[in-house]
Structure 1
Amino acid sequence: MSGLAVGAVAAVAATVAAPADAETWRYAFEEALDEVQGKYAQKFKEEVEANSEHEIQLFPYGTLGESADIMEQAQAGILQFVDQSPGFTGALIPEAQVFFVPYLLPQEDEELFEFFRTSKAINEMFPELYAQQGLELLSMFPEGDVCLTTQEPVRSPEDLNEVKFRVMTNPLLVESYRAFGATPTPLPWGEVYGALQTGIIQGQENPGFFLESTKMYEVTDVITCIGHNNFTTAVMANKDFFDGLSEEDQQVIRNATDVAFEYILEYQSGLQEESLEKIKQAKPEMEINILSEEERQPFMDTAGEVEEAFIEMTGDSGRKILEQMKQDLAAVGG
């Protein structure tokens, strides 16, 4: 058989092997493959591909631009899936900023995880708000306790006075750090390391695993955990894409979402402590402080002020979300 004929047979065989309805779906997220969002995405991909003919193509942070870029691409249908923190969707979905009201979420993992599993606000109210922006909300999950990295120790809000502190481009996070006493400075993530290195800013916040993997400890000297928040993220599909799928494919996606959600909660067990220990090993002189309940109190006292700012920004819709979240948290003991 000639080389041309062999090629033709191979092409036909490939066509037969690939079902006509098999598609490649694009999924972008805000972290690296080996960070929490990347681990979730890989598990999601594994489940979809094991239970359908479809393929998931993953795009880690930076491959398609900054957070704002991937959201635009998801809304336009260029991406089928996107993982983005409410920190970056605050302008698009103001109510999602509720996750930045300090000291709202519980510190205990068991309570926190059960809240994300059972919350009426997350599972019933937020999907409607995301749908209005052309997005199908598939899942929200926590990524870990948020800690501050600064050049000087932080034991009280006074220690943040006049500190230029990087925040995500999120109006409520700006209010939160203003209430903490800092000078909040919104910056895209790609500019943060350099801005710390050159002294344009003097601090930023992120979960422990992210501080370790992005080497934030190289350009700051102190890590302070004040217990104010747990970083939350949301996985979404383009709504037109999702609504156009067969019921079978929609169920494949929902099942993959459920499996990846439970997987990522288990993956996080002990991750914060391990990450802080790795930082200490990499930079022994790094000062790591976990504030006591008494030391946290002045920070906790600012929560009411930030809640008021949230309601002012979001009106009755935000008030209802906040009230429902508090009910959901009370139901799990938070």
Structure 2
Amino acid sequence: MTTKTSFLAALTAMAAFVTGISGAHAEKWRYAFEESLTEVQGVYATKFKEEIEANSDHEVLLFPYGTLGESADIMEQAQAGILQFVDQSPGFTGSLIPEAQVFFVPYLLPTDQEHLSRFYKNSKAINEDFKDLYANQGLELLNMFPEGEVAMTTKDPVTGCEDLNEVKFRVMTNPLLVESYKAFGAIPTPLPWGEVYGGLQLNIIQGQENPTFFLYSTKIYEVTDHITYAGHNNFTTAVMANKEFFDGLSPADQKVVNDAAAAAYDYIVSYQQGLAEQELDKIKKAKPEMTVTVLSEEQRSCFKDAAKDVEAKFIEMTGDSGKAILDQLKADLKATM
């Protein structure tokens, strides 16, 4: 038995002890996510916890980023049943569920937050088709929600694709995101988040992308000099339960979980209104010399041209299943305009 296997076995035993044996008794449920308690995923998780605890005898234990390892670690723990709930971006599940990479097709998602909130809540692709794909990996998809328009932060200004030429750009370990930044002209460099600040500081990488609130909360602006909005994506995250755990719940407890997820969704969408602008103002105050550029339609044209190649690559990677998901998402976006 390897050290990692022993560690997982020990955590499984501990989780069984903490959670309890019988669903008839109050249980402690473990929930890990990829951000801090004060960031968007943490705010969602806190609301989810409040709803569960207000409407049942169960308790939800929250584990912010880093407390149980990196993103790959918490997904492994969720699939093993060590965690009952996990929040993870499709950016990190792309190799596990290839179709989830669709959220990284550039310019697929709109930047309008109200449209996005309707889309994620009502999309057939998300609420039906993806549920089956996640279930095949031992996960019950509770919902997905947007975290804000993605911005690029770099050492040098970006006004078009030519400015990304030969730039080592950090991406999540997601095959399609790698293809996106190749198409944009950069050198995509997959790195776990824990290595990004130091990588920028040491010039191992020269750029990265994230929603605006995350740029401020992680102080990534300290080690980059330019923020660029190309309108190419909106950060998506997914909240899941271990499927065996979820299926073993009583109908009443399943309703408590689903209701908590729905309430947390409505709360986080409302919470994010104006958040990007507020956090951008904080960045400007903390670092007045930081430049902020919103690309014009003309400046975005090369990125949009590259997006066509990335979409074709997505279909090549995922076949008929991926194309069906992509087509359904496009129909859902049109229906929720």
Deviations for 1:155-212, whole angstroms, at most 9, x for unmatched residues? Answer: 0000000000000000000000011110000000000000000010000000000000
1:133 alignment partner, SS class: coil
1:127 equivalenced with 2:131 (yes/no): yes
1:7 is aligned to none
1:267 is aligned to 271
2:96 alignment partner, SS class: coil
For residues 142 and 110 of structure 1, what CA distance do their matches in structure 2 show? 11
Which of 175, 179, 191 in structure 2 is aligned with 1:175?
179
Deviations for 1:105-129, whole angstroms, at most 9, x for unmatched residues? Answer: 0111121111111111000100000
Q: What is the identity, as a one-letter code, of the residue corresponding to 1:313?
A: M
For residues 304 and 99 of structure 1, what CA distance do their matches in structure 2 show? 14
1:59 is aligned to 63
Q: What is the identity, as a one-letter code, of the residue corresponding to 1:103?
A: Y
Aligned ranges 1:24-63 → 2 under 5 Å: 24-63=28-67
Which of 89, 92, 99 in structure 2 is aligned with 1:88?
92
Deviations for 1:34-80, whole angstroms, at most 9, x for unmatched residues? Answer: 00000000000000000000000000000000000000000000000
1:277 equivalenced with 2:281 (yes/no): yes
For residues 286 and 108 of structure 1, what CA distance do their matches in structure 2 show? 25
Q: What is the identity, as a one-letter code, of the residue corresponding to 1:67?
A: S
Q: What is the identity, as a one-letter code, of the residue corresponding to 1:237?
A: A
1:159 is aligned to 163
For residues 304 and 189 of structure 2, what CA distance do their matches in structure 1 show? 21
Q: What is the identity, as a one-letter code, of the residue corresponding to 1:299?
A: F
1:185 is aligned to 189
For residues 189 and 143 of structure 2, what CA distance do their matches in structure 1 show? 29
Deviations for 1:100-157, whole angstroms, at most 9, x for unmatched residues? Answer: 0000001111211111111110001000000000000001000001000000000000
Calculate percent identity across the aligned residue pairs. Answer: 73
Which of 319, 325, 330 in structure 1 is aligned with 2:323?
319
Aligned ranges 1:1-334 → 2 under 5 Å: 21-333=25-337
* Structure 1 range deviating more: 287-296 or 130-139: 287-296
Q: What is the identity, as a one-letter code, of the residue corresponding to 2:121?
A: R
1:130 alignment partner, SS class: helix
Paired residues in the alignment total 315
1:88 alignment partner, SS class: helix
For residues 109 and 241 of structure 1, what CA distance do their matches in structure 2 show? 33
2:197 alignment partner, SS class: helix
The alpha-carbon deviation at position 298 of structure 1 amounts to 1.4
Q: What stretches of structure 1 of length at least 5 have no aligned partner? A: 1-18
For residues 246 and 117 of structure 1, what CA distance do their matches in structure 2 show? 25
2:13 is aligned to none
2:144 alignment partner, SS class: strand
Q: What is the identity, as a one-letter code, of the residue corresponding to 1:80?
A: Q
For residues 154 and 67 of structure 1, what CA distance do their matches in structure 2 show? 29
The alpha-carbon deviation at position 20 of structure 1 amounts to 5.8
TM-score, normalized by length of structure 2?
A: 0.93
The alpha-carbon deviation at position 301 of structure 1 amounts to 1.2
For residues 332 and 127 of structure 1, what CA distance do their matches in structure 2 show? 20
The alpha-carbon deviation at position 280 of structure 1 amounts to 0.3
TM-score, normalized by length of structure 1?
A: 0.93
Structure of higher CA gyration radius: 1
Q: What is the identity, as a one-letter code, of the residue corresponding to 1:289?
A: T
1:48 alignment partner, SS class: helix
